[in-house]
A and B are shown apart, each in its own frame.
Chain A
Amino acid sequence: MYKRKIRGPLIEGNKTLGQITKEIAAPMEVTPGLWWYIAFFISSVAAVFGGYAIFITVNKGIGTWGVNNSVAWGWEIVNFVWWIGIGHAGTAFSIFLLILRQKWRTSINRAAEAMTVFAVMSAALFPALHMGRIWNVFYIFPYPNTRGPLWVNFNSPLFWDFSAITAYLLISASFWYLGMLPDLGTIRDRTTSKIKKAVYGLFSMGWTGSSRQWIRFESLSFILGGIAAVLVVSVHSIVSTDFAVGVEPGWHTTIFPPFFVVGAIFSGFAMVMTLMVLIRKIYKLTDYVTDNHMDAIARILIFISLIMATAYVTELFISWYSGNKYDMFTMFRNRVTGDYTMQFWGMIVCNAIIPQLFWFRKIRRNWIGLLSISLVINLGMWLERYNIVITSLSKDFLPSNWVSYSPTIIDIGVFVGTIGLFGAGVLLFMRYIPMMAISELKSVANIGTKKED
């Protein structure tokens, strides 16, 4: 094992293996503070509001939304893309950093992956709700049927999208669960209560930590890591084809796949940061998620935000350079200027300008700074999706079809609902699942500490 001189230890305070187990398992063994119940209540209320909005949508029809004959995709698709973006962080973290052997990922990837799973769940809700006849949703599965058999249209980006999202949900979930096995075993062996023992015993699937299990465990996680890396890149590229394959001005552009992937990781890392700042504050886990960790994420965010800025400029440049009058109208008279100026410049400020504050070490090391900027980035990314989805549709080729779009309370309700769902999910995760990969922490416990020298 190699020594770190530049960076401090990955885990501070010379933890023994026993300590690590104790400290990480602690939140699951004590009853949570009042704040947890309050937070959970709020998220549940939000989720119920969302449930109501969904009921109205399904019961009355999509007409209850703000969409119309020209802007047929509204907030719901904006939110869908936004959530999927956030859902990228977890896998990005685990996979890329795993492949790059960035050991410091160990204290963050579990939370990140959990977040991924809940985010993708929230995301998957929107395309489903967006169907006019949700009760016929099974049409989208290419299974042998009595209607011909009539298969599906494999040329449709929406079908690519559907398969990509499904695969992504399954894979990220199983990757997450696989990583949890040893820790579930740990909890099972620690706990004294009969029920917990039974439950964790069930979910740890008889993990013993034998060398046979470990060797397979390791190789499997590398296999999954390897192929899921492809998936991280492909999923959001595919989401981007929903637009890039379309003819609409501002959609029909080849920059989208990379642009979307980077954007996704951007918003995802920002969300990870938000979460980690809170977790380490609340659960006093600063020894495991050290300032160095946050610093590293912040640096990554600066880098990505520069990429985003480049992408925005490129988009504008290409639309001008191509001389395509429809593109130019959308870009310069419907985004840079025009009805949607707010959204456009809001996006620029939130995604390209404010993150530059991370150049200052002080801000990188100040939890309020980290928290607020990470939230700003998420807002910015939402605005970006709004720009793409709605401005293009509202004023496209034939001026006779131009309309302005505004959401209804139901649109807002569904969005708030998913936020509630996400929140509740994360809270339950904090409560019942080790927030960090205990076994992995143990394996890196000594790195960069006195013991090594």
Chain B
Amino acid sequence: MKKNGKDPKELKSIPAGQNENRVEENNIQFPDITERDIIKRGTSRRDFLKVLGFSFGSAAIMASCKRPVQKALPYVIQPPEVTPGKASYYATGYYDGHEYSGILVKTRDGRPIKIEVNALSSFNGEGTTARVQASVLSLYDDARLKYPAVLNKKQSWTSIDEQIIGELGKINSEGGEIILLTSSIISPSTVRLINEFGAGFKKFRWIQYDAISYSAILEANSICFGKAVIPDYHFENASLVVSINADFLGTWLAPVHFIPGYASRRKPDNGEKGMLRHIQFESGMTLTGANADSRKKIKPSEERILLTDLYNKIAEKTGAAKINGLTFREDLSELADNLIESKGRSIVVSGTNNVSIQILVNSINSLLGNYSKCIDLEQNLKIASGNDRKMEELVNDLGSGKVKALLMYNVNPVYDYPDSKKILAGIKNAGMTVNMSSILNETAGKAKYECPVNHYLESWDDGEIIPGQLSLSQPCINPIFDTRSFQDSLLTWSGSKINYYNYIKNHWEKEYFPHSDKKDFRVFWNESLGNGVFRYSLLSGKTLSFNKDALSSISTYKDGSTGDFEVVISESVSLGTGMHANNPWLMELPDPVSKQCWENVAAISVSDAEKRAIKSGDLIKIAEGLILPAFIQPGQADGTLSIALGYGHTNSGPVCTNVGVNLYSFTGMNEGTRVYGFACGKPENTHKKSKLALTQEHYSMEGREIVRETFLSEYIKDPSSGNEFHKEFESTHKTLYPEVKYDGFHWGLAIDLSACVGCNSCVIACQAENNIPVVGKDQVTRRRIMHWIKIDRYYSEDLSEPEVYFQPLACQHCDNAPCENVCPVSATTHSSEGLNQMTYNRCLGTKYCINNCPYKVRRFNWYRYTNNKAFDFNTTSDLGKMVLNPDVTVRERGVVEKCSFCVQRIQEKKLQAKLENRVLKDNEIKTACMQACPAGAIVFGNLNDKESKVSGLFRDPRCYHLLEELHTLPNTGYLTKVRNDKKLKT
């Protein structure tokens, strides 16, 4: 599929993104009339007149239309790989110190414009997360650090290198300690490089620090198994998952890695045994809780009791030793039974960063013998390796001035360390400080030396996310600014002549080439580079035994529930740690559950809100310096508040600065690990209001057949259960006009509501693919968000313990489209392939189509969103516009737009098939949403092809069409949501 990479020298010498490592495509040549006619044949009088006429004509046209002047710099020498209008794909890996994905980068004319999934990467199956999708926009972030600086004054790399080398040498000779503080690092080459770098000094310490820490899991596992690792969880093998405060579908560890397995087992196709059962105990309503079969509300302080009790119940039944501890307020024996029933096929996880809790979880899992198929300690996740104790130690050392030199890479402690004042003082304290970060953040400018590093799309790197699963990252564009990769800096400072590219190459030759079956290293290298991944098995076969004394080492239980309320601080699905907060796409991405964006809010339970007379939008005072808008969240545990991290930046670019409140400063340390939460008094209503940016206000389906659901048991009896209305409709519907026949293609899209977890990655994928503008908080509060696909979220009637429904909603491409009929100027019509097409040039903006669309999926350009300072996002900044997809028109003010089934992708593949003179394969065309969906819930294809996957799904008894009673005949089908009806009775 892909050809090999090029030699870096060449890569450097030619404009960016030119290594021919891309999908082979149709060779469309653009004949240049003037050239053919004039230069080749010499100029005749007629030609002269032609050109004269042409130039006058074009001049007149140019003068007459109000287009902005476009500045384009042509290639001096056209690189052979680049054909205008053709996309090239580069395999690479995404890792920001927190999240990993194997990806393909789509570049057009040397510009990365879209992130797609690398099918060869087994880690993240079929899709990516929203944050990975959006990462391409961060490349074109105007707020990036653009040049190296000393004391915030611009300087050349050479002079900075001299100074740093000098200072390091001096400190080393004086025996001062040198600290390298980095985010978690999964790159084996970098690890080796760091060790070599450190070896060059007398006193050197390398500390990895994560804003969201998993060090409790690492510690617990080193206690229980003598191995400080984060195990890999195989949801695809589990039949019962019990999760306590772990949002593994939204934020915990590697959602993109867990969702495929989880979703594959949530489809009802393989019957009773086949379907995964999911029980969630949690305080706030997380994406994971929203997908659970049974969801129990607990306070954070109750978790310890719950686990102790659960352990004892299981121990009792399995005849293991019990431990002393309180019993949970509810009887857990049923849960215990269920777990024992599915011995070895269950997973118990906790998202709490507390060693004792993690030890309890481990012991439960080992009692249940889950450390075989379901939880894998050997093929573990290297996703995070930060250690809280070491970090705390460092901060103290900084305070005491023991540290002479501090080199920081990809960390932002000033923002995300609990005590930012202390760390700031520490940084001041260390004589020599270097900050290496690609983005502007609170830490930037605080260090003496600012050595900005490349965006990951500009740099070489490798990664080992799971032992034996390697990935190679290659640059897809030359550095936009005067930046240099962290590793190259280290190499330079350690006085080595070699560059990081060759360093990786050598490392791979030494370490991994022997594992491959290739004879020649070049072949091996090129293939790995082309695939972006390389796997080899290093299974030792020995299973780790559980240390029986582990349990004795757990701390004695202190009741954490001091105070009336407990605050849960968690990552938000949109912003994650807050590292990418300056990305407008993510900032405007509504939270999958609360459907709220552009700030963080305090989620409060329905009954608490009633008791305290708090309404959504009221500003409430939670603690000193913590005033937030309240948000009434159905399913929130009473006596708890949930608040998202990642907001409240003070210096991270225009989009996110002073948006929301920074909750990191409210996290703390307990038993040597980071605690994300605190106890507080009753929240006071300040009686001030703020308008929340909500993209959905009404929660109930009003008893309409919108999301149709059934229970597994009924589904097994009758596959069409819950979908009776569809049968009835199909048998009864009549039509006045004969239905139009579509021969050739008839495009259709099927969405499996059982598989969809509502993770939002399709939303951003669509935004990136279709140049959808960001409109800002004010417009969102006016309900004018532009997303072409949105995920509707409904609750069942009981708001204290609601069932949650997710439904991705985009244009349904109705064959009897009400919108088409009412447009006076034929701006929206039906294509011969069943597409509901929108002709922007023709649109007058009467908005009649919006009114007459029963799904309300049409969007209107209320203002000019491009080149408009009032909407200063990526469509306005010159750099930000680099991300625009040249295949999709940027819409003018006053026109209606909507989902097009990614018609540009359809056309591209059709053309390709035509040129290769073959039939279009099923699944060859992937819409952006389908392509990004990690759950594989979205399927696109040709309905006329009886073999195609989508037509199969349309024939599925679960398939129905939204509002089919209106006889709009949509080409989008939904598959009934099947719930596992084995619930916890208590």
Contacts and interface: CB of A to CB of B under 8 A. Distances in A.
Interface in A113-168: 127, 130-133, 136-137, 139-140, 147, 150-153, 155-159, 162
B824 interface: yes
Contact of A248 (B779, B821, B851): B851
A86 B858 CA distance: 33
Main secondary structure of the interface of B (DSSP, over half): loop
Contact of A401 (B701, B821, B856, B862): B856
A153 B895 contact: no
A72 B850 contact: yes
Nearest to B963: A397
A60 interface: yes
Interface in B739-794: 779, 782-785, 790, 792-794
Interface string B513-539: 000000000000000000000000000
A162 B699 CA distance: 39
A228 to B, nearest CB: 24
Contact of A247 (B843, B854, B895): B854
Contacts of B199: none
Interface stretch (A61-69, A349-357, A430-438): A61-69
A63 B862 contact: yes
Contacts of A403: 697, 783
A132 B893 contact: yes
B390 interface: no
A74 B963 CA distance: 25
Given A132-B847, A139-B844, A399 B702 contact: yes
A245 interface: yes
A246 B701 contact: no
Contacts of A396: 854, 856
B825 interface: yes
B910 interface: no
B867 interface: no
B445 interface: no
A323 B553 CA distance: 67
A69 B861 CA distance: 10
B864 interface: yes
Contacts of B809: 398, 400
A159 B848 CA distance: 11
Contact of A325 (B704, B846, B848, B864): B704
B863 A247 contact: no
A248 B850 CA distance: 11
A80 to B, nearest CB: 12
B823 A156 contact: yes
A73 interface: yes
Contact of A140 (B703, B844, B893): B844
Contact of A398 (B793, B844, B856, B858): B856
B209 interface: no
A329 interface: yes
Contacts of B703: 325
B859 A69 contact: yes
Query: Number of contact residues on B: which range applies?
Result: 35 or more
B402 interface: no
A262 interface: no
Contacts of B697: 402-403
A418 B895 CA distance: 26
Contacts of B843: 132-133
A158 B893 contact: no
Interface string A389-409: 000010111111111000000
A70 interface: yes
Interface in A211-267: 242, 245-248
B855 interface: yes
B862 A62 contact: yes
Contact of B821 (A152, A245, A398, A400): A245
Main secondary structure of the interface of A (DSSP, over half): loop
B190 to A, nearest CB: 46
Contacts of A156: 821-824, 848
Contact of B846 (A131, A326, A397, A398): A131
A24 B863 CA distance: 52
B860 interface: yes
A149 to B, nearest CB: 11
Nearest to B700: A399
A155 B864 CA distance: 30
A400 B855 CA distance: 9
Nearest to A159: B824
B468 interface: no
Interface in A31-82: 60-63, 67-70, 72-73
Given A69-B859, A132-B860, A245-B821, A151 B826 contact: yes
Contact of B847 (A73, A153, A245, A329): A73
A398 B861 CA distance: 22
Contact of B822 (A246, A393, A398, A401): A246
Contacts of A151: 826
B856 A153 contact: no
Contacts of A325: 703-704
A384 to B, nearest CB: 18
B851 A246 contact: yes
A398 B807 CA distance: 11
B40 interface: no
Most buried by B among A60, A70, A152, A397: A397
B36 interface: no
Contact of B782 (A68, A130, A132, A158): A68
Interface of B: 696-704, 706, 779, 782-785, 790, 792-794, 807, 809, 818, 821-826, 842-848, 850-852, 854-856, 858-864, 892-896, 962-963, 966, 968
Given A133-B844, A153-B826, 10 more contacts: A67-B862, A69-B856, A131-B894, A132-B846, A139-B825, A139-B844, A140-B824, A157-B822, A245-B821, A329-B702
22 contacts: A61-B862, A67-B847, A68-B782, A68-B784, A69-B785, A72-B851, A132-B844, A133-B895, A136-B844, A139-B844, A157-B822, A158-B846, A245-B822, A247-B854, A248-B851, A326-B704, A395-B698, A396-B854, A399-B699, A399-B706, A400-B698, A400-B807
8 closest A-B pairs by beta carbon, nearest first, are A132-B845, A132-B894, A63-B862, A400-B792, A72-B847, A72-B850, A401-B856, A133-B894
